[in-house]
Structure 1
Amino acid sequence: MVLTAEQHHPNIKVFVSAHKRATFPEGKSILPVQVGAANAAIRFANTLHDDEGENISAKNPCYCELTAQYWAWKNEDADYYGFCHYRRYFDFTDTPHKENDYGEIIDSYIDDHALAEYGINDEAIARAVDGWDVITTPLNDVRRIGGFSNLKQHWAADEHLRLKDLRHMYDILCTRHPDYKVDADAVLNGRTAAFCNMFIMRKEIFFEYNEWLFPLLDEFADATDFSKMDVQTTRTVGHLSERLLNIFIAHKQRTGAHWKIKRMQCVHFLRPDPMTTLEPLGTEYGRIVPVVFAADNNYVPMLATTIYSMLKNASTNRSYDVIVLERDITDENKRYMERFFAQFPNAAIRFFDVSRYLAGFSLTTSNAHISVETYYRFIIQEALPFYSKLLYLDCDLVVNGDIAELYDTELGDNAIAAVPDIDFIGNLNMKNGERAEYVNKQLHMRDAYGYFQAGVLVMNLDRMREIHTVHEWLEIASKPGYLYNDQDILNVECEGLISYLDYSWNVMHNCAGRVNGVFDFAPADVYQAYMTSRKAPKIVHYAGFDKPWKNPWCDFAPMYWSYAQETPFVAQMVAAMSGVERPVPSEHHERAIAADSPIRKYVDVFAPTGSKQRELMKVMARKVQGKR
């Protein structure tokens, strides 16, 4: 009988330890395991669990991902046993990728592109693993991490790891296995090691390793009082196993094992969390008015003010689905807003992370007062597939009318309803001709006098979906040359498909005296309509650099503050206006910033490997630690 190539493949199981929900790659050889399941408040539905069968799941706070290793040892059968983490995987390709100082490839999301880039699939795993005895992450030099002379110094520099614990484990090892002393000395006095507790081993080696490892760890744990330790120090057992893995391999190779050892790169995903999705509101909400905003964490006070003004003037006979597109609004700020807006029982406030949609696109703006959040409206049509029509509002405005009236605007087959942009139109009539030239050279609009202001939109999503996909919208947005970014793009791509609203729905304030310096250049009927709208504005839009939270004397500022003062964030707005900067929490730069620390991604961005900034940080770290 001739075996097929598939039948020749060994049974490889790569267990992925996870203590929180994550995006897991699919494949027969990739098995997610919820660690610490015995103590978990929520049991994951799409993973194995380390508290089934023979297990040490309850020891997870001390043993970390080793509870998955123990569980696999006792309950699973395979030719190869491998271990990764929910945010760290091996790169199973032969293609070298750029690493940071910690020997990791940094990437963002676990998506189809990343899985293909790093070969995280059954076929690539089989090719990479078959024929090897042991696979680990690359040997990382601790001089590269922080200028440490050896692994003991590297351990001691961590504020949460105690040198006496490393010595205790050393004594246990040397007592139980005197022949390992020379290898322990070589590893701990050396400068390189494979970290992260990631490895793949043949079955017989894996079993031998566990039979050697867990008695050592258990003896240490049994003799250690964890009751007064902080969370990180409690994880000492897991840190010790990282060093013991290197000692075990070093000993076996020195004593003639002659294992074929392979070092594969480790890829660290900064955002392994599952992609968030929104569902339609329940039928209990009745006639729904969906309203979408886009903001970042710094803009939360202004976002809250806008939403509050809208809901305070909204009809009590309608329900409002308030959706905030964001990437970094803190859970704390979300809770503050949810509690504050609970006073409106006919409104739901929801948050949607757009990061995955924007990954891979280089989006910038041409004006300092325009943020990249302005592009979020391009993803609405895909992120909210259950809506055919909705409102989009900027966050630098207040609503004085019933927003349901705006939502009920009939669009027919048009894509958008909006107010003409009197600022842009006024510029078209100026003698310098700059705006007219911009229209001719960049926008190529048939009638630029129909240019609309995009801060207040009624959107026909079904029609928008016909015009472009989200990917196409973002590709256009990535192109340079636009003065007003997404607003220009919407005007160009939707020209001829616009319903024009009354000016009262988007009354731009008098920023830098533009009413009598720009607006009055617009055609007479446009200017007169705008001036009339100022007397009874349904929405006041603080478009431009002159904002009421920066200048309380700006046009329509008292109206703004009448709403802002009732929000939970008014003190922050007043402090910022008074020149009081938000405090930045101090951070410690340790021997190696914790693997899951959010600081690491910022270090990699602002002080990349090999840069002067990185070297300066290392020098500073050594000085803080008393090193030279």
Structure 2
Amino acid sequence: MQPIQQAFEPVSICFASDDNYAPYLKVAIYSLLCNRNRERSYDIIILHKRISREHQGEILGLADGKSGVSIRFVNVVEADRELQSDVGCYYAVETNYRLLLFSKLFQNYRRMLYLDCDIIVTGDVGELFDVDLEGKSAAGVEDVGFRWLAYTKRAIFLDNKPYNVLNYCTDVLGIKDPGGYVNAGVLLFDLEKCRQKVSFRDVVETLHSRNFFYNDQDVLNILLEGNIKQVDCKWNYMNNIAFYLECDRKEFRELYLDLRREDYRIIHYISAKKPWNGEVPMGEVWQKYADE
């Protein structure tokens, strides 16, 4: 595959999706564009292997009449075989496509903001794109679900063996500080620094070295350990935060008290239940943009 050429010097954003998620991707991009800085440019890349022309047309139409906005679909079926794996707790192989950011496909990009499809943007992502990484290769938000998993000692399994999430990080992933583990739904990459430290071959070999529970999220945390700047949770406000802050059990509320935010910029709807298939915490925000 040939490297993608930048459309302009923009806020560069990458999504990955399949046809099933395309309607929800449309809502995510719509919310992003509603809250963009009109004085800046936004270059949006969508990696896929089979999004229908109908869905592509609807999403491309979001850029109509908006100056400085480019939306492009890039079919990565040629790379699909390299990234095929047991996707662990995820639902589709397309989650692995964010690993292509380490490939020659993006060699013309200096920085890239990766976003999952199951989000709503309520602030300008350009502010996150501009974050000073202080010499790090990437930025992300603590995976706050680990707090509950560690407290309850609920097991996660690898090769039919149970692990506490902290032991999973240290014993399986080889991560010295589990507190540095980030959620991969919102990530900012300095691709120049990433390319200096990690090759795409490193990424593929690590992906296939074991059937990781969190799949490519684990791979990213392994390869960039100690090289990820943690940013405020407002940039990846996982809706389970709202759930635990309002739950009946005091000990769970206390686990998440420091994460309460009123100025969140990106809401991330984690787990299998989404605002389009059931009632979830903060689902009303997604519904507002979906209705529009």
Q: TM-score, normalised by structure 2?
A: 0.88
Q: CA deviation at 1:445?
A: 1.0
Aligned to 1:545: 272
| 3-state secondary structure, aligned to 2:202 | helix
Q: CA deviation at 1:336?
A: 2.2
Structure 2 residue 259 is matched with structure 1 residue 530: yes
Aligned to 2:213: 483
Cα deviation digits, residues 344-364 of structure 1 (max 9, x gap): 222100111112123245322
Partner AA of 1:375 in structure 2: N
CA distance change for structure 1 residues 295 and 465 in 2, over 3 Å: closer, same or farther?
A: same
Q: CA deviation at 1:383?
A: 1.0
Paired with 2:229 and 2:91, the residues of 1 have a C-alpha distance of 25
| 3-state secondary structure, aligned to 1:349 | strand
Paired with 1:520 and 1:439, the residues of 2 have a C-alpha distance of 23
Preserved contact between residue 426 and residue 519 of structure 1 (Cα < 8 Å):
no
Task: Map residues 163-178 of structure 1 onto 2, 5 A cutoff.
Answer: none
Cα deviation digits, residues 573-597 of structure 1 (max 9, x gap): xxxxxxxxxxxxxxxxxxxxxxxxx
| 3-state secondary structure, aligned to 1:427 | helix
Partner AA of 1:395 in structure 2: C
Preserved contact between residue 140 and residue 231 of structure 2 (Cα < 8 Å):
yes
Aligned to 1:21: none
Partner AA of 2:77 in structure 1: S
Aligned to 1:330: 52
Q: CA deviation at 1:491?
A: 1.2
Pick the aligned partner of 1:463 from 170, 188, 193: 193
Structure 2 residue 228 is matched with structure 1 residue 501: no
CA distance change for structure 1 residues 517 and 421 in 2, over 3 Å: closer, same or farther?
A: farther
Paired with 1:470 and 1:434, the residues of 2 have a C-alpha distance of 30
Preserved contact between residue 507 and residue 540 of structure 1 (Cα < 8 Å):
yes
Q: CA deviation at 1:308?
A: 0.6
Task: Map residues 216-255 of structure 1 onto 2, 5 A cutoff.
Answer: none
Structure 2 residue 103 is matched with structure 1 residue 377: no
Preserved contact between residue 276 and residue 353 of structure 1 (Cα < 8 Å):
no
| Structure 2 unmatched runs, 5+ | 155-162
Paired with 1:482 and 1:387, the residues of 2 have a C-alpha distance of 29
Structure 2 residue 199 is matched with structure 1 residue 473: no
Partner AA of 2:115 in structure 1: L
Paired with 1:514 and 1:442, the residues of 2 have a C-alpha distance of 28
Q: CA deviation at 1:340?
A: 3.0
Aligned to 1:278: 4
Task: Map residues 60-459 of structure 1 onto 2, 5 A cutoff.
Answer: 275=1, 277-282=3-8, 288-367=10-89, 369-381=90-102, 382-431=104-153, 434-459=164-189
Preserved contact between residue 418 and residue 452 of structure 1 (Cα < 8 Å):
yes
CA distance change for structure 1 residues 441 and 289 in 2, over 3 Å: closer, same or farther?
A: same
| 3-state secondary structure, aligned to 2:13 | strand
CA distance change for structure 1 residues 319 and 485 in 2, over 3 Å: closer, same or farther?
A: same
| 3-state secondary structure, aligned to 1:490 | helix
Q: CA deviation at 1:294?
A: 0.3
Partner AA of 1:536 in structure 2: D
Larger radius of gyration: 1
Partner AA of 1:457 in structure 2: L
Q: CA deviation at 1:467?
A: 2.5
Paired with 1:514 and 1:475, the residues of 2 have a C-alpha distance of 37
Identical counterparts, % of pairs: 32
| 3-state secondary structure, aligned to 2:74 | strand
Q: CA deviation at 1:278?
A: 2.4
CA distance change for structure 1 residues 449 and 517 in 2, over 3 Å: closer, same or farther?
A: farther
Which structure has more RCO (C-alpha within 8 Å, separation ≥ 6)? 2
| 3-state secondary structure, aligned to 1:445 | coil
Partner AA of 2:36 in structure 1: A
Paired with 1:517 and 1:488, the residues of 2 have a C-alpha distance of 31
Paired with 2:14 and 2:248, the residues of 1 have a C-alpha distance of 33
Q: CA deviation at 1:339?
A: 2.1
Paired with 1:510 and 1:419, the residues of 2 have a C-alpha distance of 14
CA distance change for structure 1 residues 318 and 520 in 2, over 3 Å: closer, same or farther?
A: farther
Paired with 2:2 and 2:250, the residues of 1 have a C-alpha distance of 43
| 3-state secondary structure, aligned to 1:333 | helix
| 3-state secondary structure, aligned to 1:298 | coil
Q: CA RMSD in A?
A: 2.4
Cα deviation digits, residues 562-581 of structure 1 (max 9, x gap): 11123xxxxxxxxxxxxxxx
CA distance change for structure 1 residues 307 and 429 in 2, over 3 Å: closer, same or farther?
A: same
Partner AA of 1:377 in structure 2: R
Paired with 1:396 and 1:408, the residues of 2 have a C-alpha distance of 23
Paired with 2:108 and 2:38, the residues of 1 have a C-alpha distance of 23
CA distance change for structure 1 residues 443 and 324 in 2, over 3 Å: closer, same or farther?
A: same
Q: CA deviation at 1:366?
A: 1.2
Preserved contact between residue 520 and residue 527 of structure 1 (Cα < 8 Å):
no
Deviates more, 1:319-328 or 1:341-350: 341-350
Q: CA deviation at 1:537?
A: 1.4
Cα deviation digits, residues 166-192 of structure 1 (max 9, x gap): xxxxxxxxxxxxxxxxxxxxxxxxxxx
Q: CA deviation at 1:370?
A: 3.3
Q: TM-score, normalised by structure 1?
A: 0.43
Q: CA deviation at 1:328?
A: 0.6
Preserved contact between residue 15 and residue 115 of structure 2 (Cα < 8 Å):
yes
Q: CA deviation at 1:478?
A: 2.0
Cα deviation digits, residues 489-527 of structure 1 (max 9, x gap): 1112111111111111111113895554999659x6x73
Aligned to 2:157: none
Preserved contact between residue 509 and residue 541 of structure 1 (Cα < 8 Å):
yes
CA distance change for structure 1 residues 488 and 469 in 2, over 3 Å: closer, same or farther?
A: same
Q: CA deviation at 1:439?
A: 2.3
Q: How many residues align?
A: 282
| 3-state secondary structure, aligned to 1:290 | strand
Preserved contact between residue 45 and residue 73 of structure 2 (Cα < 8 Å):
yes
Paired with 2:56 and 2:250, the residues of 1 have a C-alpha distance of 38
